[in-house]
Amino acid sequence: MTEIPCSHAFVAIKIVHNNVYDYVDNCYKKSSQEKIYARSMILVVTTGMPHPNDYYRIGNVSEQVFLLPPITSRPPGRSKVNRDESEFQNKRIYQCERCHQLGHTRRNCRNPNPS
């Protein structure tokens, strides 16, 4: 459907000694892609960029200043394991001793004068 043969078809084409690219649709070939994007692709001006061959003339690389990774240290002791609680786990429902409402305890009760 996509006009690109699957891997099994590629093997069969190779066994028959044919060119695989003859069986691929023209829109996927590089020549067609260059024609499609020729007007919309604009080359980037590269003024002031070093030439790749100039890297051999840099000299001693160890004297150059490079960005070093941050200094990190692991905290002492065994690492904590954050366990995901199961949805089937029985969760304790707290009841306040002051106002007798569910969901909190006397320590963090926001109703100072229950009636």
What pTM value is reported for the model?
Answer: 0.32
Res 56: pLDDT: 56
In a domain, 8, yes or no: yes
In a domain, 18, yes or no: yes
In a domain, 39, yes or no: yes
Res 4: pLDDT: 81
Res 1: pLDDT: 63
Res 91: pLDDT: 75
Report the C-alpha gap between 58 and 56 in whole angstroms.
6
**Structural domain boundaries enclosing 7:** 1-47
pLDDT values of the chain reduced to their tens digit, one per residue, 115 residues:
677 888 888 889 889 988 888 888 888 888 888 888 888 877 777 777 666 666 555 555 556 666 777 888 877 888 777 877 777 777 788 898 888 888 888 888 888 776 6
Domains of the chain: total: 1
In a domain, 25, yes or no: yes
Alpha helix positions (H), the chain: 7-15, 30-36
Question: Dihedral of CA 10/15/21/25: which sign?
Answer: negative
Question: Position of tokens 């043969």?
Answer: 5
In a domain, 104, yes or no: no
Angle at 25 between CA 40 and CA 41, to 5 degrees: 10
